[in-house]
Chain A
Amino acid sequence: MKHLLSTRDLSRVDAVRILDLAEDMADVATRAVPKLPTLRGKTVANLFFEDSTRTRLSFEAAAKRLSAEVITFSAKGSSVSKGESLKDTAQTIAAMGVDAVVLRHPASGAAATLAGSGWIDAAVVNAGDGTHEHPTQGLLDAYSIRKRLHGAGSRGRDLDGVRVTIVGDIVHSRVARSNVWLLSTLGAEVSLVAPATLLPGSIERWPVTAGHDLDAAIAARPDALMMLRVQAERMTSGFFPNEREYAREWGLSAERFARLGADTMVLHPGPMNRGLEISSAAADSARSVVLEQVTNGVSIRMAVLYLVLSGNDGTDA
């Protein structure tokens, strides 16, 4: 695997392989020395043109656990504010000698542009590009669902027949897109629930069912309920009347959470807006997978960095 740009590029076999590899990586954390020498001598550059805490730290922890060197760049306080382009920034970083670039960028397609441009030789891992994709988040969500369902027997399994409902701001959500492609590739049945204004126009072509009624979705007892963050920073006009109305119609309130099936797990990619899309009763319950998602994220990113940085050619994986 040369780059990881989109979960759409992954076959079911590829995806299960990454999840299985992440299982091995997770085992490392339990050992006397929770570190592997695998990527010694490799350098990973985190290029973050957009704010992020958990994704940046997660990639950094993953790279360090594999013994890679990490350089971190964030746009704030950098030459980007002086007008430097993605090309110049990337080439500057590449000139310092990096083997992989982890890119978070506000423009959809930025990672694919960087990977296909010939500007740099390094492997590119998409850590979120605009409203397009966030493939490692999709992978860690699939991993977290599989782990909750199958525990120690997770290896080798897909998500055939698992019913996942994704709720909230679909149109702005790269997390939703990466999850939709990946979960359906893995065999899950994905349904979306959102206000009509927050469903994308192209929804008919997605491998999902879509609706507007969260109560009906809860009554259908899905295996997993994924609450998305309301992305205030991407909302330039009125997609819904106000926050209180959003919480009333599409928030996982304590009362809705109580109606949820006892086996339904609750996911949230974070950071959470407590009281808006998710209540504390749901977020802090035993059915919440939120903290496992963070832990699993490191394992997934170790697996991805291993796959893009080892091997002498791009033919395998």
Chain B
Amino acid sequence: MAVRTVLQQADIQRALTRISHEILESNRGSDDLVLLGIPTRGVMLAERIAGIIGSLEQRDIPVGALDVTMYRDDLDRHPTRTPSPTRVPGAGIDGRTVVLVDDVLYSGRTIRAALDAIGDLGRPRAVRLAVLVDRGHRELPIRADFVGKNLPSAAAERVNVRLAEIDGDDSVAIEGAAVSDTAAAGDGGAA
């Protein structure tokens, strides 16, 4: 099984810094901005981006977690999933610009579920999507607004995102075929 590291710690840092600037540019500043990370690693990425934007703008950026387990369309295809808590910043999301943050964009089904979940939480002015890695193979008409790295991959390959907060170090690696084909079935294939 071949493992190829495609992003190192410094690359991830640079990608998140660029994404932070792009978010600020497209939002024309940080007013009414809310970042919602999708567990597990999306939450950590959202917190990092909020930290970068916060230090650029000299203000606290509301950041939360949006669990999408209960909105998935594949619950019958996998063993029972245990959801993570959803945390919405105190001021809510009504009328704000929500930036969803996830580690890997793959089939798009997780984001479809996230959009449904957001609809039940309130009515944002706009929803944007930021991902660290876009590996292609979309199954739904969904695209990311902010992408750290486009990573063309075969469906049989597996993209592994590691983040220091839980994995001890930062890296993105791509594992060659001959790995279990379950990677192709789930959204993300990582996390």
B16 → chain A, closest Cβ, in Å? 28
Nearest chain A CB to B29's CB is how many angstroms away? 27
On whether the beta carbons of A313 and B79 are closer than 8 Å, the reply is yes
Binding-face segment, A19-27, A73-81, A194-202, A257-265: A19-27
User: Which B residues between 154 and 168 are near A, CB-CB below 8 angstroms?
Assistant: none
* B180 smallest CB distance to A (angstroms): 16
Asked, given contacts A1-B80, A312-B77, whether A38 binds B71 with beta carbons under 8 Å apart, the answer is yes
Check A35 for interface membership: any CB of B closer than 8 A: yes
**A316–B79 touching, CB < 8 Å:** yes
State whether B80 touches A33 (Cβ < 8 A): no
Interface residues of A in 268-283 (CB under 8 A from B): none
Which residues of the partner chain A approach B28 to less than 8 Å between Cβ atoms? none
Is B119 located at the chain interface by the 8 A CB criterion? yes
In the complex, are the beta carbons of A33 and B82 less than 8 A apart?
Answer: no
Known A17-B82, A21-B83: A38·B70 in contact at CB below 8 Å: yes
Interface: A237 (CB within 8 A): no
CB neighbours (8 Å) of B81 from chain A are: 310-311
Which of B71, B76, B116, B122 makes the CB contact (< 8 A) with A310?
Answer: B76
Q: Given A33-B120, A38-B70, A316-B80, A310–B86 Cβ distance below 8 Å?
A: no
A184 to chain B, nearest CB (A): 24
Whole-angstrom distance between the Cβ of A230 and the nearest chain B Cβ: 39
Say if the beta carbon of A95 comes within 8 Å of chain B.
no
Which one of B71, B76, B77, B79 lies within 8 Å of A37 (CB-CB)? B71
A310 in contact with B80 (CB, 8 Å): yes
Report yes or no: B120 in contact with A312, Cβ–Cβ below 8 A: no
Q: Which of A24, A36, A313 contacts B71 (CB 8 A)?
A: A36
Judge if B90 is at the interface, Cβ distance under 8 Å. Answer: no
- In the complex, A242 has a CB within 8 A of chain B: no
Indicate if the CB atoms of A310 and B75 lie closer than 8 Å: yes
Taking residues whose C-beta sits less than 8 angstroms from the other chain, chain B's interface range is: 10 to 19
Give the Cβ gap from A22 to chain B, nearest Cβ, in Å: 11
Most-contacted residue by chain A among B77, B80, B81, B85 (CB, 10 A):
B80
Report chain B residues within 8 Å CB of A31. Answer: 120-121
Instruction: Give chain A residues whose Cβ lies under 8 Å from the Cβ of B76.
Output: 310-312
Contact pick for B79, options A24, A35, A311, CB 8 Å: A311
Q: Are B120 and A38 in contact (CB under 8 A)?
A: no
Set of chain A residues within 8 Å of B77, measured between Cβ atoms: 312
How distant is the Cα of A75 from the Cα of B116 in the complex, in angstroms?
Answer: 39
A23-B85, A24-B85, A38-B75 as given contacts; A317 in contact with B121, CB under 8 Å: no
- Please report the C-alpha to C-alpha distance between residue A163 and residue B78 in the assembled complex, in whole angstroms: 39
**Does A155 sit within 8 A of B, measured CB to CB?**
yes
CB of B43 to closest CB in A, whole Å:
15
Choose from B70, B78, B79, B82 the contact partner of A36 (Cβ within 8 Å).
Answer: B70
B121 & A32 in contact (Cβ 8 Å cutoff): yes
Using Cβ atoms and an 8 Å threshold, which residues of chain A touch B67? 24
Contact check, A311 vs B85: say whether CB atoms are below 8 A apart: no
A contact residues around B83 at 8 Å (CB): 21, 24
B59 to chain A, nearest CB (A): 26
Complexed CA–CA distance, A31 and B93 (Å): 11
**Smallest beta-carbon distance A223→chain B, Å:** 25
Is A315 in contact with chain B by the CB < 8 A criterion?
yes
Q: Are A21 and B82 in contact (CB under 8 A)?
A: yes
A17 proximity list for chain B (CB < 8 A): 82
For residue A162, CB closer than 8 A to chain B, the reply is no
Q: Are A33 and B71 in contact (CB under 8 A)?
A: no
A81 to B116, CA, bound (A): 46
Q: List 27 A-B contacts (CB under 8 A).
A: A17-B82, A21-B83, A24-B83, A24-B86, A27-B86, A31-B121, A32-B120, A32-B121, A32-B122, A35-B120, A36-B120, A37-B70, A38-B70, A38-B71, A38-B75, A66-B70, A155-B85, A306-B80, A307-B80, A310-B76, A310-B81, A311-B80, A312-B76, A312-B77, A315-B79, A316-B79, A316-B80
B residues lining the A interface (CB < 8 Å): 67, 70-71, 75-83, 85-86, 116, 119-122
Q: Which 6 A-B pairs have the closest CB atoms?
A: A311-B80, A316-B79, A33-B120, A38-B70, A310-B75, A36-B70
Known A-B contacts: A17-B82, A311-B75, A316-B80. Give 19 more (CB < 8 A): A1-B80, A21-B82, A21-B83, A27-B85, A31-B121, A32-B121, A32-B122, A37-B70, A37-B71, A38-B70, A155-B85, A307-B80, A311-B76, A311-B80, A311-B81, A312-B77, A313-B79, A315-B79, A316-B79
